[in-house]
Amino acid sequence: MTSMRSDAEPQVHPSAVIEPGAQIGAGCIIGPFCLIGPEVVLGDNCVVKSHVVITGDTTVANDCSIFSFACVGEIPQDQKFKGEKTRLEIGPRTRIREHVTINTGTAGGGSLTRIGADCLLMAGCHVAHDAILGDRVIIVNNAAIAGHCIIEDDVLVGGLSGVHQFVRIGQGAIIGAVTMVTNDVIPYGLVQAPRGELDGLNLVGLKRRGVARSDITALRAAFQMLAQGEGAFQDRARRLGEETDSEYVRNIVKFVTGHSDRSFLTPGQG
């Protein structure tokens, strides 16, 4: 996005509807036929293309861009929702492409849906109520993140994929295209196949982020132990934590031994 003066007056197309109470930051550009609801807060230098709806108790941080026909901040697609007060937060520099839908939270799920910084939500994807997305998450075209999911930093979810409610996807994992994910995914994992099989590590992503060769070697060894070691999956992870010096391996251990509402995908499991 082109840098703009933080003190510049917003540019609002005459056909856009800005409801009383909405807060529009300096330097924002709001295109034709947009609707900005009364509880919306737009940070500085946001660009909202034509035919966008932003509603609900929604806060959009600085330097975000929202493309045509996106619908951001509408009520949850949850029959238990009874109109309670819930919110949506979107972090700075996040890009929301055409036809994306993002819902606010529910009282039963913490009342908050949150998207982190520097995320890219590609055309047609959906983020449901109470989902929490970290920073630099990429959701590819027409993928769907169900309610109550936790997607950690640097995750990529491939196109036409679906993530089941309450699933956690660990930092740096990658989900292949046309994949259904019904179980938690370890950090740096590679999941693919129609029913979501843990098929290795996201080595390409690790190398692109400049992870040291020693850490990648440690992660390879950790994956083999998780795949073929003795005992239950969580027990193998705890032994890893006692034996490793790698921060990346410890991240996997912390994730696996933490609270989960779903079971884990293990190597070879579909």
Mean pLDDT score, 170-178? 98
| Beta pairing partners, 191 | 175, 198
Each residue's pLDDT tens digit, 113-172: 999 999 999 999 999 999 999 999 999 999 999 999 999 999 999 999 999 999 999 999
C-alpha angle with apex 143: 142 to 146, nearest 5 degrees? 130
Residue 247: exposure state from Cβ atoms within 10 A (0-12, 13-18, ≥19): exposed
Q: Are 140 and 157 spatial neighbours (Cβ–Cβ below 8 Å)? A: yes
Percent of the chain scoring above 70 in pLDDT: 97
Q: Tell which residue, 146, 144, 206, 150, has the closest CA to residue 174.
A: 206
Q: What mean pLDDT, rounded, does the chain reach?
A: 94
**Confidence tier at 62 by pLDDT (50, 70, 90):** very high
pLDDT, position 2: 42
C-alpha angle with apex 91: 88 to 94, nearest 5 degrees? 110
Each residue's pLDDT tens digit, 225-268: 888 878 888 888 888 888 899 999 999 999 998 888 888 888 86
Active site residue ranges: 129-130, 147
- Beta-sheet pairing, 189-192 with 197-201: antiparallel
pLDDT, position 270: 54
